[in-house]
Amino acid sequence: MGGYDFASLQTKWQAIWEERQPFTVSDAGDKRPRKYVMDMFSYPSGDLHMGHAEAFAFGDVVARYWWQQGFQVLHPVGWDSFGLPAENAAIKRGTDPREWTYSNIDQQRAAMKAYGVSVDWTREIHTSDPEYYKWNQWLFLKMYEKGLAYRKDSWVNWDPVDQTVLANEQVLADGTSDRSGAVVVKKKLTQWYFKITDYADRLLDDLNQLEGRWPSKVLAMQRNWIGRSTGADVDFVVEGRSEKITVFTTRPDTLFGVTFMVVAPESDLAAELVAGQDDAQIRAVFQDFLTEVQKSSEIERMTADRPKNGVFLGRYAKNPITGERIPVWAADYVLPDYGHGAVMAVPAHDQRDLDFALKYDLPVRVVVDVNAPVTGVIPALELDENGLAILPDDLEPSNPAETGEALTGEGRLLNSGVFTGLSKSTGIKKIIEALETSGDGRAAKTYRLRDWLISRQRFWGTPIPIIHGADGTEVPVPYDQLPVELPSTEGLDLKPKGQSPLGAATDWVSVKDPRDGSDALRDPDTMDTFVDSSWYYLRYLNPNDPDKAFDPKEADKWAPVDQYVGGVEHAILHLLYARFITKVLFDLGYVGFTEPFSALLNQGMVLSGGAKMSKSKGGVNLSDELALHGVDAIRLTMAFAGPPEDDINWEDVSPAGAAKFLARAYRLAKDVTSAPDAVWSEGDQNLRRVTHRFLSESPGLVEAFKFNVVVARLMELVNAIRKVVDSGAGAADPAVREATETVALALSLFSPFVASEMWEMLGYDSDVATYGWRKADPTLLVETSITAIIQVNGKVRDRIEVSPKIASDELEKLARASEAVIRAVGDKEIVNVIVRAPRVVNIAVR
RNA sequence: GCCCCCGUAGCCCAAUCGGCAGAGGCAGGCGACUUAAAAUCGCUUCAGUCAGGGUUCGAGUCCCUGCGGGGGCACCA
């Protein structure tokens, strides 16, 4: 590798930055406008890996860009330092998780500093510090007071490897744990929840505000996850039972087609219905069925298109609108925790209901004519004595009972009493109105989103600040007794046993009831670490404040975060939780905004051989690449590889090429012979034009995250300077200095070490990073002539050099006079001439 | 099954508003320097934009259909 000694440059500049702290934000008396740029903080695994390196490289481009643009930029880092890897490591070594965690942090901090990220190191936070997690507890208590934190007994996701419960968001689509990879099982347990479902509408609707500033993919994922459906709740009276069964449906227009009802077998409702039923045979059959259902694993349950099984419960319900008597079944295709755990079955128009009806020989009744025109005049239909329509033969739709295909399309209602003939959407509206009038139903929404299960049965997390009194009352720990600190691990067995290890820390868990001093027990569970990360962006604003979680005045000044950078793996989990907690803090009056992250950039992954790069898998890894090519070249490689949100195949990019380019840039700084006070305007005008075009275009490109294009333009500029130095005006030309200084300033966004060195070589002792972007001189951006293209029928036939200010009619005259055009037109008739001065003329001929 | 994103040279990728398909890099080729090689420097080959249809004076760009790739949700009523 020729060029320069990147290793000694890295050492030199790291020491200088350590001393100067150029990125520490004091704010006081600083009149510059503010920007808050934040990278997703890291779990302290000890090493910097490719994923971190890429995210920090991109985040740093943005942070350094705003510094150059004259802002004071808050760009903090912290550590997501609670969690299972530390705890598991501690179990393996018989040590305290604190040791592993804090030594990893030291190691990783050093790696990050060596990576040259523009960070305000005075604001570093660790979520495992009592000074931090105290405020998780404070947040919990605030939410508890508002009824947003509560405990309930429910079927939960249980990770049998990590021996703890998981939130829905932590279970992958294949039914395995996102952390341990174990197949998650269902357990019925009493757990703590945050009531995120209260915020479902706001979490969904506020996504519209983020449109265009968050990746559309993330917005789509969040919308899917929240999964709002609109429709109606309909109440069905059950014979011999005082309470009705309420079902949720998105198709109230098909109410006349209901031929049976289905409830989830494991729901309380099913048990009640069977209990109220005299036939012992039916009760026994149901019990067997329920046992069978509970045996099937979550994975089987989640596979679509499984055969549907069910049993008749021996009970009948009444259709509220037709008065018809319909049987009530229990079946495994109805889920206990969605909607009301019960459905009205319309087999003609729902594939699942149809599959079930055909299997158990239940009636199928068509109530929507999907062949009927959806728009236009509704044909007048004759009704029979039952109020049902008599249909002309050609309107007869296909019969689902014969085809096995449910009719789910748009159409017009059939056999639906006074509603017959209505379109789907009008039918939905009118039938809901009728239900509301009769009191048998109402418009309703339901969500896929579930409340956030936050308790965990592990040690290394934030203790839940609740005391359980002897009488079973939940007593919040008084605020002045926070934090509830984790005990020492001395004599404590952290091995997962399905119950929190804290429960066995006798001295810790036994407390006096704050109400009356009687014996009581602390809640032994700890919080999901996603609680820590749901508000950490606020803690950076006053990381050492002992009196409050964050300062609302600081939040007004800095928050929300202007630019958040991180991996798409948090598209739902962390980002949804942080949005939720921000809205809660807004409602509590602590912040004046409802979305935490105004803009989001998701970097792609770095792949090698089609797999994520990591040390354990062998092959290419970050530390080798850094040693081989230097920090600057690696960072530049990532910026140049393509759009930041795309994955990078390491085989497709060239760190050696990046290093070569940096060496070319560096050599220019060496070549410049003019003094720092050289008068640029006396320099080579063509080079100046290139420089100023670069100065003018780059900011927009950075703001659009087109880092790869900026680097390409920078390469262009370097090539242009080289040409002037070697075979033009020469190294002494003032324009060469101007252009080379521009290279150093722009390069500082991507490759700060070599940029700083170049800056020094060029005679400056200031920090290149905060020196300031130079404004383009508009007079150098004006083009003196422009190439107009002349087309005939859209095909380019001639090019002419014209003034950019040429008038349309003059350009047309020139175009018509062109010999190439005259030849192309020949004896054809000119039917139209489009002139877009000064760029294009198109002559349409026939 | 529903929804979202992407298909441009051998490869990674550019192409503001619909207006000359190529900025930059990798790989390749030729040349200069060198005893030779590396490094460096200069020059250079390479696609008509996945396919089909439509809108338009004009489509890589907008619309429809299909194919291919990636992702999210899913017995969700």
Residues A672-695: pLDDT tens digits? 989 998 889 888 888 999 999 999
Residues of A (652-681) placing their beta carbon closer than 7 angstroms to any atom of strand B are: 652-654, 656-657, 660-661, 663-664
Shortest CA to C1' contact from A332: nucleotide: B75
Strand B proximal to A305 Cβ, under 7 A: yes
User: Which among A379, A448, A443 has a CA at the least distance from the CA of A414?
Assistant: A379
Residue nearest to nucleotide B73 (CA to C1'): A224
How far in angstroms lies nucleotide B72's C1' from the CA of residue A220?
Answer: 7
SS3 A551: coil
Residue A520's pLDDT is: 95
How far in angstroms lies nucleotide B76's C1' from the CA of residue A810?
Answer: 66
Strand runs labelled E in A225-324: 229-238, 245-249, 260-263, 310-318
Please tell me the distance from the alpha carbon of residue A815 to that of residue A793, in angstroms, as a whole number: 13
Please tell me the distance from the alpha carbon of residue A10 to that of residue A30, in angstroms, as a whole number: 30
What CA dihedral angle connects A11, A13, A16 and A18, to 10 degrees?
-70
CA-to-CA separations, A321 to A250, A255, A258, A425, in angstroms, rounded: 16, 8, 10, 18
Q: Measure the N-to-C terminal CA separation of chain A; round to a whole number of Å.
A: 62
Residue A561's pLDDT is: 97
Residue A846's pLDDT is: 78
How far in angstroms lies nucleotide B27's C1' from the CA of residue A622?
Answer: 24
Strand B proximal to A322 Cβ, under 7 A: no
Residue nearest to nucleotide B42 (CA to C1'): A723
Please tell me the distance from the alpha carbon of residue A585 to that of residue A472, in angstroms, as a whole number: 30
Shortest CA to C1' contact from A843: nucleotide: B57
SS3 A736: helix
Q: Which element (helix H / strand E) includes A537? A: helix A536-539
Strand B proximal to A229 Cβ, under 7 A: yes
Q: Which element (helix H / strand E) includes A279? A: none
Residues of A (729-788) placing their beta carbon closer than 7 angstroms to any atom of strand B are: 787
Q: Are A261 and A245 in contact, with CB atoms under 8 Å apart?
A: yes
Q: Which residues contact A308 (CB under 8 A, 6 or more apart)?
A: A331, A332, A333, A352, A355, A356, A359
Strand B proximal to A335 Cβ, under 7 A: yes
How far in angstroms lies nucleotide B6's C1' from the CA of residue A703?
Answer: 22
The H-assigned helical ranges of A255-316 are: 268-275, 280-295, 298-302
Shortest CA to C1' contact from A447: nucleotide: B76
Rounded to the nearest angstrom, the gap between the alpha carbon of residue A14 and the centroid of all alpha carbons in its chain is 34
How far in angstroms lies nucleotide B6's C1' from the CA of residue A455?
Answer: 40
| Structure tokens that stand for A610 in this block | 């089609």
Strand B proximal to A253 Cβ, under 7 A: no
Kind of pairing between the strands at A34-39 and A563-567: parallel
Chain B footprint bases within 7 A of protein beta carbons: 3-5, 11-16, 19-21, 23-27, 39-42, 57-59, 70-77
Residue nearest to nucleotide B27 (CA to C1'): A652
Residue A393's pLDDT is: 47
Q: Which residues contact A276 (CB under 8 A, 6 or more apart)?
A: A240, A241, A315
Strand B proximal to A649 Cβ, under 7 A: yes
Strand B proximal to A217 Cβ, under 7 A: yes
Kind of pairing between the strands at A648-649 and A606-608: parallel
SS3 A771: coil
How far in angstroms lies nucleotide B24's C1' from the CA of residue A712?
Answer: 4
Residue A153's pLDDT is: 87
Q: Which residue reads 């990046």 in tokens?
A: A658
Residue A229's pLDDT is: 92
| Structure tokens that stand for A804 in this block | 């950019």
Strand B proximal to A712 Cβ, under 7 A: yes
Shortest CA to C1' contact from A844: nucleotide: B57
Strand B proximal to A642 Cβ, under 7 A: yes
Q: Which residue reads 């964050």 in tokens?
A: A550
| Structure tokens that stand for A508 in this block | 């810790």
Strand B proximal to A713 Cβ, under 7 A: yes
Task: Dump pLDDT digits (tens) for A72-127.
Answer: 999 999 999 999 889 888 888 888 999 999 999 999 999 999 999 999 999 999 99
Shortest CA to C1' contact from A3: nucleotide: B39
How far in angstroms lies nucleotide B2's C1' from the CA of residue A229?
Answer: 13
From the CB of residue A513, how many other CB atoms can be counted at a distance below 10 Å? 17
Please tell me the distance from the alpha carbon of residue A101 to that of residue A78, in angstroms, as a whole number: 13
Q: Are A461 and A82 in contact, with CB atoms under 8 Å apart?
A: yes
Residue A299's pLDDT is: 53
Under-50 pLDDT residues of chain A: 1-2, 376-380, 386-388, 393-395
Residue A51's pLDDT is: 87
Strand B proximal to A799 Cβ, under 7 A: yes
Strand B proximal to A249 Cβ, under 7 A: yes
Please tell me the distance from the alpha carbon of residue A394 to that of residue A396, in angstroms, as a whole number: 5
**A113: amino acid identity, one letter:** K
Residue A395's pLDDT is: 47
Residues of A (338-357) placing their beta carbon closer than 7 angstroms to any atom of strand B are: 338-344, 350, 352, 355
How far in angstroms lies nucleotide B63's C1' from the CA of residue A255?
Answer: 38
Q: Are A476 and A138 in contact, with CB atoms under 8 Å apart?
A: no
Please tell me the distance from the alpha carbon of residue A389 to that of residue A365, in angstroms, as a whole number: 13
Q: Are A319 and A260 in contact, with CB atoms under 8 Å apart?
A: no
Please tell me the distance from the alpha carbon of residue A342 to that of residue A238, in angstroms, as a whole number: 13
How far in angstroms lies nucleotide B53's C1' from the CA of residue A217?
Answer: 29
Angle at A250 between CA A249 and CA A252, to 5 degrees: 70
A437-471 core/surface letters (b: 16 or more CB in 10 A; e: else): eeebbeebebbebbbbbbbbbbbbbbbbbbbbbee
Task: Dump pLDDT digits (tens) for A470-491.
Answer: 999 999 999 999 999 999 988 8
Q: What is the DSSP string of A594-652?
A: S-SBS-EEEE--EEETTEE--STT-SS-HHHHHHHH-HHHHHHHHHHSS-TTS-EEGGG
Please tell me the distance from the alpha carbon of residue A620 to that of residue A651, in angstroms, as a whole number: 10
Strand runs labelled E in A319-422: 325-331, 342-345, 368-369, 382-383, 389-390, 412-413
Please tell me the distance from the alpha carbon of residue A114 to that of residue A90, in angstroms, as a whole number: 28
